[in-house]
Structure 1
Amino acid sequence: MTTSTTSTATTPTTAETAKARSDQTPPATAPSGAATATGTPVTVEAAAQVRRRRRLSPGRRLPASRLVGPLLFLALWAAASAAGQLDPAAVPAPWTVLETGARLWTDGTLPTDILTSLQRAGAGFAIGLTAGIALALASGLSRAGEALIDGTVQLNRAIPTLGLIPLFILWLGIGETFKIAIIAIVVYIPIYLNTHAALAGIDSRFVELAEVQGLSRFRFIREIVIPGALPGFFVGLRLGVTGSWLGLVVLEQINATNGLGYLMFQAQNYGQSDVILVGLVVYGIFGLVSDSAVRLIERRVLSWRRTLSS
């Protein structure tokens, strides 16, 4: 009798066949065009996660986006002036302000006042910047320095800076010195506060790591303290730059013979609202340009950071 035998080694079972088919089935991928940086297709779940992250983030930075608001305000101002909705004696049209500015520039009044204001603001800002950084480092890196400095600065912050003008006039006279001193106080306070807060917020684990690595005091400050305090310092720097222009507006109206504030004060006496607006526009341009310059430096210096805004 002939016996027919089957070879179990060569005939796959039903389970093995299903497993083989499942192994040959390509994984579900995202729609065409969805791939990783290396060109490998990503899964549907990964693509969905990427889309969710893009929805939560602010989006790509728009070029010159900070000019949209001022340009929109200028357009509304021009439209209201052209429609006769604004009193020309109180709020002149933009083209009237532009003509007045060109006239003041041509006769040499505006360049002289701008140069004088820049010198005052620059001198006060330099002194305030140096004082703010030095005091923040002395107070933030030493308990003895904090005990001597921080309370005094907090007291100074609580006193309105412009309220010190009468006292500083008695101490320093009515000339340029007291103006520069007041601007320096306006500048150093925000720089000190933000830099000191950034120093106090450095993670103690970095200090422990520096001690384990045996870093010297100089290397500890250079490699840990300064990078950790830079974000807070730049916040204070932006506030200080803006504060120097705000203080200058008031100070140049006190016993001054030139400067943008003096120009605006004289225009007030003669009812020249267009000249006042010229001064305000120049102050606004200086403030916007200086703030943009600080932000540009901040992005370059802190390019290693990955934040929501970047």
Structure 2
Amino acid sequence: MATTVAVPPDTSQDPDTAALIDAGTLSRPHRTRVPLPRWLRRLAGPALVVAVWQLLGTLGQINPRILATPSQVAVAAWQLTSDGELGTNLLASLQRVVVGLAIGVSAGVLLAVLAGLFRLGEELIDSTMQVVRALPVLGLLPLVIIWFGVGEQPKIALVVFAAACPVYINTYAGIRGVDNRLVESGRVVGLGRLGLIRHVVLPGAVPGFLVGLRFALTSAWLVIIIAEQLNATSGIGYLMNQAQAWYRTDIIVLGLLIYGLLGLLADSLVRLLERRLLVWRHGFNGA
């Protein structure tokens, strides 16, 4: 019994058909995709959480005295903004965090440079900082109040302490983590001690500093939440503490959202610095 084998048509003699096949014009037409901006895709997750949260509140599954709905939080934000109370307290919190970060980050960088570049500095500073960073920040609150009273100084002091330690640890690790082959290459091309520090060591420590700065920003906002709820007359933490007495969960949630948004904004600023200062580094961006 003869077997019939289907033989595809020979297109080797037809250059036009072969060109069409190679170009993919005979294949199935593809759809044109319109890519969404990355920031919009990143908002999809939080937006879904807010939608579910609002739905559960509308259906009565969440007691508003326990957790206010997003719409109630929005109404509270509008009321506090209209009478100026929100802006005044937000400005007070920002001032405390900015001053504390300026002092803490500067102190952390200075100590890290001294400990990272000089052996004597390492022996005098590093062991002390390792002990200090193990201390609980909020555990120092009673002692800080005794030292500075109940005004602005204890709140700023706690932010300084919370910011200085992560900046020191990561900057110091960045300095000591510079590849020694780069240092040797710098010596080969004629760089002296100051030239090595300026062109090799300090630029190589920038990634570590930025990691420390990111942790410092987060720690500063965490600390100021507690500091402003004790012996304070202004600030977002003070506003939340006052709302607790009246079971105003809408204001409490609003304060938490403000802290979260400020932390996200601060992290975005650090990411911008990374893109500007680390243009020479190409890392993995995800598959």
TM-score scaled by length of structure 2: 0.84
Shift of the 215–98 alpha-carbon distance from structure 1 to 2, 3 Å rule, reads same
Partner residue of 1:200 out of 176, 180, 199: 176
The aligned counterpart of 1:290 is: 266
Shift of the 189–66 alpha-carbon distance from structure 1 to 2, 3 Å rule, reads farther
Aligned equivalents of 1:156, 1:61: Cα separation in 2: 46
One-letter identity of the residue aligned with 1:150: D
Find the structure with the greater CA-based Rg: 1
Task: Compare 109-118 and 76-85 and name the one that shifted more.
Answer: 76-85
- The reply on whether 1:126 has 2:102 as its aligned counterpart is yes
The aligned counterpart of 2:6 is: none
The aligned counterpart of 2:150 is: 174
Superposed structure 1 runs of 4+ greater than 3 Å apart: 31-34
- The reply on whether 1:164 has 2:118 as its aligned counterpart is no
The aligned counterpart of 1:63 is: 38
Count of residues in correspondence between the two structures: 255
Q: What do the CA deviations read for 1:210-262 (whole angstroms, capped 9, x no partner)?
A: 22222123321221112211111111111111111111000001111011000
After TM superposition, the structure 1 = structure 2 runs for residues 1-310 of structure 1, keeping only pairs within 5 Å, are 32=22, 63-64=38-39, 65-309=41-285
The aligned counterpart of 1:23 is: none
Aligned equivalents of 1:62, 1:166: Cα separation in 2: 48
Task: Compare 138-147 and 77-86 and name the one that shifted more.
Answer: 77-86
State percent identity of aligned pairs: 46
Shift of the 69–221 alpha-carbon distance from structure 1 to 2, 3 Å rule, reads farther
Shift of 1:305: 0.9
Shift of 1:97: 0.5
Shift of 1:90: 0.9
Aligned equivalents of 2:185, 2:238: Cα separation in 1: 55
Q: What do the CA deviations read for 1:253-299 (whole angstroms, capped 9, x no partner)?
A: 11110110000001111211111111111111111111111112211
Aligned equivalents of 1:33, 1:219: Cα separation in 2: 56
- Aligned residue for 1:249, secondary structure, equals helix
Shift of 1:69: 2.9
TM-score scaled by length of structure 1: 0.78
Structure 1: 5+ residue stretches without partners: 1-30, 35-59
Q: What do the CA deviations read for 1:68-101 (whole angstroms, capped 9, x no partner)?
A: 3322221221222222211111111101100011
Structure 2: 5+ residue stretches without partners: 1-20, 25-34
Aligned equivalents of 1:33, 1:244: Cα separation in 2: 58
- Aligned residue for 1:89, secondary structure, equals coil
